[in-house]
Amino acid sequence: MLYTIALIIHTLISILLVLVILAQTSKGGLDANLGGAAMNVFGGSGASQFLRKWTQILGLLFVASCIILAFLVKNVGNPDVKALQKRQSKVGQTEAPAEPAAKAPAPAPAEAPAQTN
C-alpha cells in the first residue's frame, strides 16, 4: 500500500518536473508554444527565477522519491519465511516429473557356464 502511494507521488512529481522544465523560456519550450503566457503572468524575469526555483525543488523531490522507491521496492514482495515455504511446497507438487532421458537398452546378462559334475 505504501509503495503504491509513493509510486503515485513519484509519477506526479515527474509530470510536474517535465512541465516546469518545458515552461522555461530557454530556446522555446512550452512557454513559446503557449504564446509567452509565463511572461505575461510573472513579468519579464519573474518567470525564469520562479521556474528555476521550482525546477530545483522538484528535482530534489524527484531524487528523494527515487531513493524512497528503491528502498520500498525491495519490501514489496517480501513474504515471511513460512509463507515462502508454503508457496515452494505448492510449486513442488504441481511440477511434472522430468521424463527420463532415452536410455540405451540394458545389456543382456551373460550366460552362466554350464556346470559339469
> Where in the sequence is the domain holding 54, given as residue range(s)?
43-75
Instruction: Look at the chain and report how many structural domains it folds into.
Output: 1
Segment 7-25 mean pLDDT: 91
Q: What is the pLDDT of residue 1?
A: 77
Residue type, 23: A
Q: Is 16 a domain residue?
A: no
**pLDDT above 60: residue 34:** no
Q: Is 58 a domain residue?
A: yes
CB 23 within 8 A of CB 51: yes
**pLDDT above 60: residue 37:** no
Tell me the C-alpha distance between 101 and 68, whole Å: 50
- Taking alpha carbons only, the member of 81, 80, 20 closest to residue 51 is 20
Q: Is 22 a domain residue?
A: no
With cell 503515485, the residue in question is 8
